[in-house]
Structure 1
Amino acid sequence: MIPLLIDEVVAVAESVAVAVLPLGAVFLILQVTLLRLPRRQVSDILKGTAIAGVGLFLFLLGIGVGFLPYGRAVGEALGALDSMWLVVAIAGLLGFLVTWGEPAVRILADQVESASSGAIRGRMVLIAVCVGVAAWVGIGMLRITLGIPLLWLLVPGYLVVLVLVWLGDREFVAVAVDAGGVATGPLANSFLLALALGAATAVGADPVVQGFGFVALIAVAPIISVGLLGLLVRARTAERPPATPPSRRPLPE
Protein backbone atom coordinates (compact mmCIF):
# COMPACT_ATOMS: atom_id res chain seq x y z
CA MET A 1 0.00 0.00 0.00
CA ILE A 2 2.73 2.48 0.98
CA PRO A 3 4.86 1.83 -2.15
CA LEU A 4 1.81 2.43 -4.34
CA LEU A 5 1.11 5.69 -2.51
CA ILE A 6 4.72 6.79 -2.97
CA ASP A 7 4.53 5.99 -6.69
CA GLU A 8 1.33 8.04 -6.95
CA VAL A 9 2.92 10.98 -5.13
CA VAL A 10 5.95 10.93 -7.44
CA ALA A 11 3.82 10.68 -10.58
CA VAL A 12 1.55 13.55 -9.52
CA ALA A 13 4.52 15.71 -8.52
CA GLU A 14 6.12 15.16 -11.93
CA SER A 15 2.90 16.03 -13.78
CA VAL A 16 2.41 19.22 -11.73
CA ALA A 17 6.04 20.24 -12.29
CA VAL A 18 5.63 19.75 -16.05
CA ALA A 19 2.48 21.90 -15.98
CA VAL A 20 3.64 24.74 -13.69
CA LEU A 21 7.39 25.18 -14.17
CA PRO A 22 7.26 26.11 -17.89
CA LEU A 23 4.67 28.81 -17.12
CA GLY A 24 6.94 30.22 -14.41
CA ALA A 25 9.93 30.16 -16.76
CA VAL A 26 7.99 31.96 -19.50
CA PHE A 27 6.89 34.60 -17.00
CA LEU A 28 10.47 35.23 -15.86
CA ILE A 29 11.65 35.55 -19.46
CA LEU A 30 8.87 38.02 -20.26
CA GLN A 31 9.62 39.89 -17.04
CA VAL A 32 13.24 40.42 -18.07
CA THR A 33 12.54 41.23 -21.72
CA LEU A 34 9.13 42.89 -21.82
CA LEU A 35 7.07 43.33 -18.67
CA ARG A 36 9.53 44.96 -16.24
CA LEU A 37 7.05 44.71 -13.35
CA PRO A 38 7.96 45.99 -9.87
CA ARG A 39 9.89 43.55 -7.70
CA ARG A 40 7.05 43.24 -5.17
CA GLN A 41 4.53 42.34 -7.87
CA VAL A 42 6.90 39.73 -9.30
CA SER A 43 7.28 38.24 -5.83
CA ASP A 44 3.50 38.07 -5.38
CA ILE A 45 3.06 36.37 -8.75
CA LEU A 46 5.72 33.77 -8.00
CA LYS A 47 4.26 33.10 -4.55
CA GLY A 48 0.80 32.69 -6.05
CA THR A 49 2.16 30.32 -8.68
CA ALA A 50 3.84 28.22 -5.99
CA ILE A 51 0.64 28.10 -3.92
CA ALA A 52 -1.37 27.12 -7.01
CA GLY A 53 1.14 24.36 -7.76
CA VAL A 54 0.87 22.96 -4.24
CA GLY A 55 -2.92 23.10 -4.42
CA LEU A 56 -2.93 21.38 -7.81
CA PHE A 57 -0.64 18.67 -6.43
CA LEU A 58 -2.90 18.00 -3.45
CA PHE A 59 -6.01 18.06 -5.64
CA LEU A 60 -4.65 15.61 -8.21
CA LEU A 61 -3.21 13.38 -5.49
CA GLY A 62 -6.60 13.22 -3.77
CA ILE A 63 -8.28 12.34 -7.07
CA GLY A 64 -5.78 9.62 -7.87
CA VAL A 65 -5.74 8.06 -4.40
CA GLY A 66 -9.38 8.33 -3.40
CA PHE A 67 -11.72 9.86 -5.95
CA LEU A 68 -11.08 7.57 -8.91
CA PRO A 69 -11.31 4.31 -6.89
CA TYR A 70 -14.43 5.67 -5.18
CA GLY A 71 -16.11 6.50 -8.48
CA ARG A 72 -15.29 3.11 -9.93
CA ALA A 73 -16.59 1.31 -6.83
CA VAL A 74 -19.86 3.27 -6.97
CA GLY A 75 -20.21 2.49 -10.68
CA GLU A 76 -19.73 -1.22 -10.07
CA ALA A 77 -22.33 -1.12 -7.29
CA LEU A 78 -24.83 0.67 -9.54
CA GLY A 79 -24.20 -1.72 -12.40
CA ALA A 80 -25.06 -4.65 -10.11
CA LEU A 81 -28.52 -3.27 -9.26
CA ASP A 82 -31.54 -4.96 -10.83
CA SER A 83 -33.70 -1.83 -11.20
CA MET A 84 -32.65 0.09 -14.28
CA TRP A 85 -34.55 3.23 -13.32
CA LEU A 86 -32.97 3.24 -9.86
CA VAL A 87 -29.57 3.15 -11.55
CA VAL A 88 -30.54 6.09 -13.77
CA ALA A 89 -31.94 8.10 -10.84
CA ILE A 90 -28.89 7.56 -8.60
CA ALA A 91 -26.49 8.30 -11.44
CA GLY A 92 -28.37 11.51 -12.26
CA LEU A 93 -28.22 12.59 -8.63
CA LEU A 94 -24.48 11.92 -8.52
CA GLY A 95 -24.03 13.87 -11.74
CA PHE A 96 -25.87 16.85 -10.27
CA LEU A 97 -23.89 16.82 -7.02
CA VAL A 98 -20.48 16.42 -8.67
CA THR A 99 -21.20 19.22 -11.14
CA TRP A 100 -22.48 21.41 -8.30
CA GLY A 101 -19.11 21.03 -6.62
CA GLU A 102 -17.04 21.50 -9.80
CA PRO A 103 -14.89 24.63 -9.30
CA ALA A 104 -14.77 25.46 -13.03
CA VAL A 105 -18.57 25.56 -13.26
CA ARG A 106 -18.82 27.94 -10.30
CA ILE A 107 -16.13 30.19 -11.76
CA LEU A 108 -18.04 30.36 -15.05
CA ALA A 109 -21.31 31.18 -13.26
CA ASP A 110 -19.65 33.97 -11.26
CA GLN A 111 -17.97 35.43 -14.34
CA VAL A 112 -21.19 35.36 -16.34
CA GLU A 113 -23.01 37.30 -13.61
CA SER A 114 -20.14 39.76 -13.31
CA ALA A 115 -19.74 40.31 -17.07
CA SER A 116 -23.48 40.77 -17.60
CA SER A 117 -23.76 43.18 -14.63
CA GLY A 118 -26.27 40.84 -13.00
CA ALA A 119 -28.53 40.52 -16.07
CA ILE A 120 -27.75 36.78 -16.22
CA ARG A 121 -27.80 35.37 -12.72
CA GLY A 122 -24.89 33.08 -11.91
CA ARG A 123 -26.98 30.73 -9.76
CA MET A 124 -29.44 30.28 -12.63
CA VAL A 125 -26.60 29.25 -14.94
CA LEU A 126 -25.15 26.94 -12.27
CA ILE A 127 -28.45 25.14 -11.77
CA ALA A 128 -29.02 24.83 -15.53
CA VAL A 129 -25.59 23.24 -16.03
CA CYS A 130 -26.09 20.83 -13.11
CA VAL A 131 -29.54 19.76 -14.30
CA GLY A 132 -28.28 19.20 -17.84
CA VAL A 133 -25.35 17.09 -16.68
CA ALA A 134 -27.58 15.11 -14.32
CA ALA A 135 -30.01 14.27 -17.13
CA TRP A 136 -27.29 13.14 -19.50
CA VAL A 137 -25.42 11.16 -16.85
CA GLY A 138 -28.64 9.22 -16.35
CA ILE A 139 -28.96 8.74 -20.11
CA GLY A 140 -25.33 7.64 -20.26
CA MET A 141 -25.88 5.00 -17.58
CA LEU A 142 -28.94 3.82 -19.50
CA ARG A 143 -26.73 3.53 -22.58
CA ILE A 144 -24.23 1.37 -20.68
CA THR A 145 -26.95 -0.86 -19.25
CA LEU A 146 -28.75 -1.38 -22.56
CA GLY A 147 -25.67 -1.32 -24.80
CA ILE A 148 -26.89 1.62 -26.88
CA PRO A 149 -24.31 2.82 -29.47
CA LEU A 150 -22.73 6.15 -28.58
CA LEU A 151 -23.59 7.80 -31.91
CA TRP A 152 -27.30 7.18 -31.32
CA LEU A 153 -27.07 9.72 -28.51
CA LEU A 154 -24.36 12.08 -29.73
CA VAL A 155 -25.76 12.77 -33.20
CA PRO A 156 -29.28 13.75 -32.00
CA GLY A 157 -27.70 15.68 -29.14
CA TYR A 158 -25.57 17.82 -31.41
CA LEU A 159 -28.47 18.30 -33.83
CA VAL A 160 -30.40 19.77 -30.90
CA VAL A 161 -27.36 21.94 -30.11
CA LEU A 162 -27.32 23.30 -33.68
CA VAL A 163 -31.01 24.15 -33.47
CA LEU A 164 -30.54 25.93 -30.13
CA VAL A 165 -27.55 27.85 -31.48
CA TRP A 166 -29.65 28.95 -34.45
CA LEU A 167 -32.64 30.00 -32.35
CA GLY A 168 -30.94 31.26 -29.19
CA ASP A 169 -29.71 34.69 -28.18
CA ARG A 170 -26.05 35.44 -28.73
CA GLU A 171 -25.40 35.92 -25.01
CA PHE A 172 -26.78 32.54 -23.98
CA VAL A 173 -25.23 30.74 -26.96
CA ALA A 174 -21.77 31.95 -25.93
CA VAL A 175 -22.34 30.96 -22.30
CA ALA A 176 -23.77 27.57 -23.29
CA VAL A 177 -20.77 26.65 -25.44
CA ASP A 178 -18.33 27.56 -22.66
CA ALA A 179 -20.46 25.64 -20.16
CA GLY A 180 -19.87 22.49 -22.19
CA GLY A 181 -16.16 22.86 -21.55
CA VAL A 182 -16.19 23.68 -17.85
CA ALA A 183 -18.64 20.89 -17.03
CA THR A 184 -15.91 18.40 -17.94
CA GLY A 185 -13.52 19.84 -15.35
CA PRO A 186 -11.11 17.68 -13.34
CA LEU A 187 -13.57 16.94 -10.54
CA ALA A 188 -16.58 15.91 -12.62
CA ASN A 189 -14.52 14.33 -15.37
CA SER A 190 -12.51 12.04 -13.11
CA PHE A 191 -15.43 10.85 -10.99
CA LEU A 192 -18.01 10.38 -13.75
CA LEU A 193 -15.59 8.64 -16.08
CA ALA A 194 -14.63 6.24 -13.30
CA LEU A 195 -18.35 5.77 -12.60
CA ALA A 196 -18.96 4.77 -16.23
CA LEU A 197 -16.00 2.39 -16.32
CA GLY A 198 -17.15 0.71 -13.11
CA ALA A 199 -20.70 0.32 -14.39
CA ALA A 200 -19.51 -1.12 -17.70
CA THR A 201 -17.38 -3.68 -15.86
CA ALA A 202 -20.28 -4.64 -13.60
CA VAL A 203 -22.72 -5.32 -16.46
CA GLY A 204 -20.12 -7.32 -18.38
CA ALA A 205 -19.74 -4.78 -21.20
CA ASP A 206 -16.47 -3.75 -22.81
CA PRO A 207 -15.21 -0.78 -20.72
CA VAL A 208 -13.43 0.71 -23.73
CA VAL A 209 -16.57 0.66 -25.89
CA GLN A 210 -19.26 1.41 -23.30
CA GLY A 211 -17.28 3.12 -20.52
CA PHE A 212 -15.47 5.72 -22.57
CA GLY A 213 -17.49 8.30 -24.48
CA PHE A 214 -19.26 9.23 -21.25
CA VAL A 215 -17.43 12.57 -21.10
CA ALA A 216 -18.71 13.41 -24.60
CA LEU A 217 -22.26 13.15 -23.29
CA ILE A 218 -21.39 15.33 -20.31
CA ALA A 219 -19.91 17.97 -22.65
CA VAL A 220 -23.05 18.27 -24.77
CA ALA A 221 -25.39 18.38 -21.76
CA PRO A 222 -24.78 21.97 -20.57
CA ILE A 223 -24.95 23.36 -24.10
CA ILE A 224 -28.49 22.02 -24.40
CA SER A 225 -29.63 22.97 -20.89
CA VAL A 226 -28.21 26.52 -20.97
CA GLY A 227 -29.51 26.98 -24.52
CA LEU A 228 -32.99 25.96 -23.38
CA LEU A 229 -32.63 28.34 -20.43
CA GLY A 230 -31.91 31.16 -22.87
CA LEU A 231 -35.06 30.39 -24.86
CA LEU A 232 -37.10 30.24 -21.64
CA VAL A 233 -35.75 33.59 -20.44
CA ARG A 234 -36.51 35.19 -23.80
CA ALA A 235 -40.03 33.78 -23.82
CA ARG A 236 -40.74 35.04 -20.29
CA THR A 237 -39.32 38.45 -21.15
CA ALA A 238 -41.52 38.66 -24.24
CA GLU A 239 -44.64 37.84 -22.17
CA ARG A 240 -44.15 40.77 -19.81
CA PRO A 241 -46.13 43.85 -20.82
CA PRO A 242 -44.01 46.92 -21.48
CA ALA A 243 -43.77 49.28 -18.58
CA THR A 244 -46.04 52.32 -18.96
CA PRO A 245 -45.02 55.64 -17.48
CA PRO A 246 -47.28 56.90 -14.68
CA SER A 247 -49.97 59.33 -15.76
CA ARG A 248 -49.38 62.92 -14.82
CA ARG A 249 -52.09 65.24 -13.70
CA PRO A 250 -52.20 68.58 -15.41
CA LEU A 251 -50.69 71.32 -13.33
CA PRO A 252 -53.13 73.93 -12.11
CA GLU A 253 -52.95 77.19 -13.99
Structure 2
Amino acid sequence: MKLVSWNVNGLRACVNKGFNDFFKESGADIFCVQETKLQEGQIVLEQGEEYMQYWNYALKKGYSGTAVFTRIKPLSVRYGIEEDTEPEGRIITLEFAGFYLVNVYTPNAKRDLTRLEYRMEWEDRFRNYLLALDQHKPVVVCGDLNVAHQDIDLKNAKSNRGNSGFTDEERGKMTTLLDSGFVDTFRYFYPDTEGAYSWWSYMPKIRERNVGWRIDYFLASSRMAPQLVEAGIESNVLGSDHCPVVLTIKELDS
Protein backbone atom coordinates (compact mmCIF):
# COMPACT_ATOMS: atom_id res chain seq x y z
CA MET A 1 0.00 0.00 0.00
CA LYS A 2 1.47 3.34 -1.06
CA LEU A 3 0.78 6.54 0.84
CA VAL A 4 1.81 10.03 -0.26
CA SER A 5 1.74 13.30 1.67
CA TRP A 6 2.39 16.77 0.24
CA ASN A 7 2.10 20.31 1.56
CA VAL A 8 1.09 22.00 -1.68
CA ASN A 9 1.11 25.57 -0.30
CA GLY A 10 -2.02 26.45 -2.23
CA LEU A 11 -3.65 23.65 -4.18
CA ARG A 12 -4.98 25.83 -6.97
CA ALA A 13 -1.49 27.18 -7.65
CA CYS A 14 0.02 23.70 -7.39
CA VAL A 15 -2.46 22.31 -9.92
CA ASN A 16 -1.04 24.82 -12.38
CA LYS A 17 2.47 23.55 -11.60
CA GLY A 18 2.02 19.84 -12.24
CA PHE A 19 0.06 18.52 -9.24
CA ASN A 20 -2.19 16.30 -11.33
CA ASP A 21 0.73 14.84 -13.25
CA PHE A 22 2.49 13.80 -10.07
CA PHE A 23 -0.74 12.54 -8.56
CA LYS A 24 -1.26 10.17 -11.48
CA GLU A 25 2.37 9.11 -11.66
CA SER A 26 2.54 8.39 -7.94
CA GLY A 27 0.03 5.54 -8.09
CA ALA A 28 -0.86 6.30 -4.48
CA ASP A 29 -3.54 4.31 -2.70
CA ILE A 30 -3.94 7.22 -0.29
CA PHE A 31 -2.81 10.76 -1.12
CA CYS A 32 -2.83 13.41 1.63
CA VAL A 33 -2.55 17.15 1.07
CA GLN A 34 -1.91 20.02 3.46
CA GLU A 35 -2.25 23.79 3.13
CA THR A 36 -4.91 23.62 0.41
CA LYS A 37 -5.73 27.32 0.97
CA LEU A 38 -9.21 27.18 -0.49
CA GLN A 39 -12.89 26.91 0.36
CA GLU A 40 -15.52 24.44 -0.76
CA GLY A 41 -16.40 24.86 -4.42
CA GLN A 42 -13.25 26.74 -5.37
CA ILE A 43 -11.70 23.76 -7.13
CA VAL A 44 -12.90 20.62 -8.88
CA LEU A 45 -10.41 17.78 -9.10
CA GLU A 46 -11.19 14.80 -11.29
CA GLN A 47 -8.79 12.21 -9.90
CA GLY A 48 -10.76 9.25 -11.22
CA GLU A 49 -13.77 7.42 -9.94
CA GLU A 50 -11.59 5.11 -7.84
CA TYR A 51 -10.64 7.97 -5.49
CA MET A 52 -12.90 9.22 -2.73
CA GLN A 53 -12.22 12.78 -1.58
CA TYR A 54 -12.37 14.22 1.93
CA TRP A 55 -11.78 17.90 2.68
CA ASN A 56 -11.32 19.97 5.84
CA TYR A 57 -11.52 23.66 5.02
CA ALA A 58 -10.34 26.48 7.27
CA LEU A 59 -12.94 29.08 8.15
CA LYS A 60 -10.44 31.76 7.18
CA LYS A 61 -10.30 32.14 3.41
CA GLY A 62 -7.06 31.22 1.64
CA TYR A 63 -5.59 29.65 4.76
CA SER A 64 -4.49 26.21 5.95
CA GLY A 65 -6.81 23.30 5.03
CA THR A 66 -6.27 19.60 4.41
CA ALA A 67 -7.57 16.93 2.03
CA VAL A 68 -7.31 13.18 1.51
CA PHE A 69 -7.83 11.19 -1.70
CA THR A 70 -8.20 7.46 -1.12
CA ARG A 71 -8.88 4.38 -3.20
CA ILE A 72 -9.76 2.49 -0.03
CA LYS A 73 -13.12 3.32 1.46
CA PRO A 74 -12.70 4.36 5.10
CA LEU A 75 -14.87 2.95 7.86
CA SER A 76 -15.22 6.43 9.31
CA VAL A 77 -13.95 9.99 8.82
CA ARG A 78 -13.35 12.55 11.53
CA TYR A 79 -12.41 16.22 11.24
CA GLY A 80 -10.40 17.90 13.98
CA ILE A 81 -9.41 16.60 17.40
CA GLU A 82 -12.18 14.84 19.30
CA GLU A 83 -15.16 17.22 19.43
CA ASP A 84 -13.05 20.23 18.50
CA THR A 85 -14.25 21.64 15.18
CA GLU A 86 -10.64 22.71 14.42
CA PRO A 87 -11.57 25.94 12.59
CA GLU A 88 -8.22 26.02 10.80
CA GLY A 89 -8.97 22.77 8.97
CA ARG A 90 -5.77 21.09 10.10
CA ILE A 91 -6.73 17.46 10.71
CA ILE A 92 -8.55 14.66 8.91
CA THR A 93 -8.65 11.16 10.40
CA LEU A 94 -9.65 8.17 8.28
CA GLU A 95 -10.33 4.87 9.96
CA PHE A 96 -9.55 1.72 8.02
CA ALA A 97 -9.90 -1.88 9.13
CA GLY A 98 -6.23 -2.23 10.04
CA PHE A 99 -5.18 1.28 11.08
CA TYR A 100 -6.05 4.95 11.48
CA LEU A 101 -4.62 7.50 9.06
CA VAL A 102 -4.23 11.02 10.43
CA ASN A 103 -3.44 13.79 7.95
CA VAL A 104 -2.23 16.90 9.78
CA TYR A 105 -0.95 20.40 9.14
CA THR A 106 0.66 21.42 12.43
CA PRO A 107 0.40 25.11 13.40
CA ASN A 108 3.50 27.21 12.81
CA ALA A 109 4.91 29.00 15.85
CA LYS A 110 5.46 32.06 13.62
CA ARG A 111 8.76 33.76 12.94
CA ASP A 112 8.55 35.88 16.12
CA LEU A 113 7.34 32.84 18.13
CA THR A 114 4.12 34.61 19.08
CA ARG A 115 2.23 31.38 18.52
CA LEU A 116 4.68 29.11 20.33
CA GLU A 117 2.56 28.88 23.48
CA TYR A 118 -0.48 27.88 21.41
CA ARG A 119 1.68 25.42 19.51
CA MET A 120 2.79 23.74 22.73
CA GLU A 121 -0.82 23.36 23.94
CA TRP A 122 -1.84 22.06 20.51
CA GLU A 123 0.98 19.50 20.53
CA ASP A 124 -0.22 18.09 23.84
CA ARG A 125 -3.80 17.80 22.63
CA PHE A 126 -2.68 16.21 19.37
CA ARG A 127 -0.44 13.67 21.10
CA ASN A 128 -3.24 12.69 23.48
CA TYR A 129 -5.56 12.31 20.50
CA LEU A 130 -3.11 9.99 18.73
CA LEU A 131 -2.55 7.93 21.85
CA ALA A 132 -6.30 7.51 22.28
CA LEU A 133 -6.58 6.26 18.70
CA ASP A 134 -3.60 3.98 19.21
CA GLN A 135 -5.45 2.22 22.01
CA HIS A 136 -7.84 0.84 19.39
CA LYS A 137 -5.61 0.16 16.38
CA PRO A 138 -2.25 1.30 14.93
CA VAL A 139 -1.91 4.87 13.67
CA VAL A 140 -0.15 6.39 10.68
CA VAL A 141 0.39 10.15 10.93
CA CYS A 142 1.41 12.18 7.91
CA GLY A 143 1.80 15.81 7.04
CA ASP A 144 3.70 19.01 7.61
CA LEU A 145 4.66 18.83 11.30
CA ASN A 146 6.50 22.16 11.12
CA VAL A 147 9.55 20.99 13.03
CA ALA A 148 12.99 19.74 12.14
CA HIS A 149 13.56 17.18 14.86
CA GLN A 150 17.33 16.72 14.91
CA ASP A 151 20.37 18.64 13.67
CA ILE A 152 20.55 16.24 10.74
CA ASP A 153 17.09 17.37 9.61
CA LEU A 154 18.12 20.82 8.39
CA LYS A 155 21.08 22.31 6.58
CA ASN A 156 22.12 24.98 9.06
CA ALA A 157 21.28 23.64 12.50
CA LYS A 158 23.62 25.89 14.48
CA SER A 159 22.41 29.20 13.04
CA ASN A 160 18.73 28.16 13.21
CA ARG A 161 18.74 27.02 16.83
CA GLY A 162 15.81 28.72 18.56
CA ASN A 163 14.11 29.77 15.34
CA SER A 164 10.52 28.79 14.56
CA GLY A 165 10.48 25.12 13.64
CA PHE A 166 13.76 24.45 15.45
CA THR A 167 13.13 25.65 18.98
CA ASP A 168 13.99 23.36 21.86
CA GLU A 169 10.31 23.39 22.80
CA GLU A 170 9.06 22.19 19.40
CA ARG A 171 11.79 19.60 19.07
CA GLY A 172 11.05 18.39 22.57
CA LYS A 173 7.40 17.83 21.73
CA MET A 174 8.44 15.68 18.76
CA THR A 175 10.75 13.68 21.00
CA THR A 176 7.93 13.18 23.49
CA LEU A 177 5.59 12.00 20.74
CA LEU A 178 8.10 9.50 19.39
CA ASP A 179 8.88 8.27 22.89
CA SER A 180 5.16 7.73 23.41
CA GLY A 181 5.18 4.87 20.92
CA PHE A 182 5.72 6.22 17.41
CA VAL A 183 8.47 5.90 14.85
CA ASP A 184 9.74 8.44 12.31
CA THR A 185 9.54 6.16 9.30
CA PHE A 186 12.16 7.94 7.20
CA ARG A 187 14.71 7.74 10.01
CA TYR A 188 13.68 4.13 10.62
CA PHE A 189 15.10 3.30 7.18
CA TYR A 190 17.72 6.05 6.89
CA PRO A 191 18.93 7.00 10.39
CA ASP A 192 22.12 8.72 9.24
CA THR A 193 21.20 10.14 5.83
CA GLU A 194 22.10 13.82 5.51
CA GLY A 195 20.78 16.34 3.01
CA ALA A 196 17.30 14.78 2.97
CA TYR A 197 14.92 17.72 3.12
CA SER A 198 11.27 18.36 2.27
CA TRP A 199 11.04 22.17 2.47
CA TRP A 200 13.13 25.00 1.04
CA SER A 201 12.72 28.75 1.21
CA TYR A 202 11.60 30.49 -1.97
CA MET A 203 14.69 32.72 -1.76
CA PRO A 204 16.88 32.51 -4.88
CA LYS A 205 19.10 29.43 -5.29
CA ILE A 206 18.13 27.98 -1.91
CA ARG A 207 16.51 24.85 -3.33
CA GLU A 208 19.17 24.45 -6.00
CA ARG A 209 21.79 24.44 -3.25
CA ASN A 210 19.62 22.12 -1.13
CA VAL A 211 19.56 24.45 1.86
CA GLY A 212 16.47 22.85 3.31
CA TRP A 213 14.58 21.44 6.26
CA ARG A 214 12.89 18.07 6.75
CA ILE A 215 9.57 19.04 8.32
CA ASP A 216 7.20 16.70 6.46
CA TYR A 217 6.81 13.24 7.95
CA PHE A 218 5.20 9.87 8.04
CA LEU A 219 5.05 8.63 11.62
CA ALA A 220 3.66 5.23 12.57
CA SER A 221 2.82 3.34 15.71
CA SER A 222 5.98 1.53 16.78
CA ARG A 223 4.26 -1.85 16.58
CA MET A 224 3.77 -1.24 12.85
CA ALA A 225 7.53 -1.48 12.22
CA PRO A 226 7.28 -5.00 10.72
CA GLN A 227 4.75 -3.65 8.18
CA LEU A 228 6.95 -0.79 6.99
CA VAL A 229 8.36 -1.46 3.51
CA GLU A 230 9.96 1.83 2.42
CA ALA A 231 9.95 5.57 3.07
CA GLY A 232 11.13 8.31 0.75
CA ILE A 233 11.29 12.00 -0.09
CA GLU A 234 10.46 13.09 -3.65
CA SER A 235 12.77 16.10 -3.65
CA ASN A 236 12.76 16.34 -7.44
CA VAL A 237 9.03 17.11 -7.54
CA LEU A 238 8.34 20.83 -7.91
CA GLY A 239 5.11 22.80 -7.60
CA SER A 240 5.42 23.91 -3.96
CA ASP A 241 8.07 25.02 -1.51
CA HIS A 242 7.58 21.55 -0.01
CA CYS A 243 8.04 18.24 -1.83
CA PRO A 244 6.01 15.04 -1.39
CA VAL A 245 6.99 12.37 1.11
CA VAL A 246 6.10 8.72 0.61
CA LEU A 247 5.51 5.63 2.73
CA THR A 248 4.92 2.07 1.55
CA ILE A 249 3.47 -0.41 4.01
CA LYS A 250 2.24 -3.98 3.87
CA GLU A 251 -1.50 -4.45 3.68
CA LEU A 252 -3.11 -4.11 7.09
CA ASP A 253 -6.56 -5.59 6.43
CA SER A 254 -7.38 -2.27 4.79
Larger RCO (CA under 8 A, 6+ residues apart): 1
Normalised by the shorter chain, which TM-score bucket? Answer: under 0.3
Higher helix proportion, which one? Answer: 1
Under a length normalisation based on structure 1, what TM-score does the superposition of the two structures give?
0.26
Higher strand proportion, which one? Answer: 2
